[in-house]
């Protein structure tokens, strides 16, 4: 599969009040859960996008820093799209530990030359669990140098341009996109201490 993968970890975790990457979930830190999942897809290369190089980053994952000032996921995606050697970039947010290998493989099977995949739940895009073609880079770069940094606006533009194909997520699979933003989002039994 000619695809690169990116673990998006650059958020400030304000609502969680601690670094999400090192939160324990079902006995493992989130970073390990997500990187193990991405490795199962056997991507051409793996990137970790963050504000600073994390101490936990494995040597075989390339670090991509957010260029200040950070504009959230937009910064990390733009920087990573500029570096990939493959035709597409699969992005997965650190705080989506319910995502499954089968579902990601399904998304990967829906890509086309020059066209990625944008999962949609109801009327809302899921831009941090999507696949972008390298041809989307110019739009990312232009958005980053503009005034509207909304990933919803950006992905809507890419859909209209034919660079992203919308994939409607069936109700039974929407659980894969559940994310952990606040301490209440974690089951008390799954929450441990930072590693």
Residue 46 pairs with which residues in a beta bridge?
A: 5
Task: Give the pLDDT band of residue 19 (cuts 50, 70, 90).
Answer: confident
Q: Which of 15-29, 33-47, 75-89, 152-166 has the lowest mean pLDDT?
A: 15-29
Look at residue 16 in the predicted model and tell me its pLDDT: 43
Domain boundaries, the chain: 3-185
pLDDT at residue 12 greater than cutoff 70: no
Q: Do strands 45-50 and 3-8 pair parallel, antiparallel, or not at all (unpaired)? A: parallel
CATH assignment of 3-185, among 3.90.550.10, 3.40.50.300, 3.80.10.10, 3.40.50.11540: 3.90.550.10
Query: With contact defined as beta carbons under 8 Å apart, do 124 and 156 qualify?
Result: no
Output the pLDDT for position 194. 41
Q: Taking 90 as the threshold, does the pLDDT of residue 195 lie above it?
A: no
For residue 188, give the DSSP letter.
Answer: T
| Beta-bridge partner residues of 118 | 166
Nearest to 50 by CA among 74, 34, 66, 27: 66
CB atoms within 10 A of CB 41: 17
pLDDT bin (cut points 50, 70, 90) of residue 184 is low
Pick the closest to residue 38 from 124, 116, 96, 81 (CA basis).
96
Residue 3 clears pLDDT 80, i.e. is over it: yes
Task: Please provide residue 100's backbone torsions phi and psi, each rounded to the nearest 5 degrees.
Answer: -115, 155
pLDDT at 18 over 80: no
pLDDT value at residue 1:
58
In which band, very low, low, confident or very high, does the pLDDT at 76 lie, cut at 50, 70 and 90?
A: very high
């Amino acid at each position: 599969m000619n695809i690169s993968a990116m673990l998006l970890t650059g958020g400030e975790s304000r609502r969680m009040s601690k670094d999400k990457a090192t939160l324990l979930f079902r006995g493992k830190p989130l970073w390990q859960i997500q990187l193990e999942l991405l490795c199962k897809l056997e991507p051409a290369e793996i990137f970790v996008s963050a504000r600073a190089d994390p101490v936990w980053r494995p040597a075989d994952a390339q670090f991509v820093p957010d260029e200040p000032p950070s504009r959230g996921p937009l910064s990390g995606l733009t920087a990573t799209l500029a570096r990939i050697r493959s035709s597409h970039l699969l992005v997965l947010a650190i705080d989506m530990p319910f995502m499954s290998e089968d579902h990601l493989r399904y998304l990967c099977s829906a890509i086309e030359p020059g066209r990625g995949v944008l999962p949609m739940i109801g009327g809302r895009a899921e831009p941090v669990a999507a696949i972008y073609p390298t041809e989307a880079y110019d739009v990312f770069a232009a958005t980053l140098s503009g005034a509207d940094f909304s990933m919803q606006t950006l992905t809507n533009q890419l859909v209209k341009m034919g660079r992203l194909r919308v994939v409607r997520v069936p109700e039974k699979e929407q659980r894969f996109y559940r994310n952990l933003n606040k301490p209440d989002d974690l089951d008390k039994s799954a929450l441990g201490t930072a590693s």
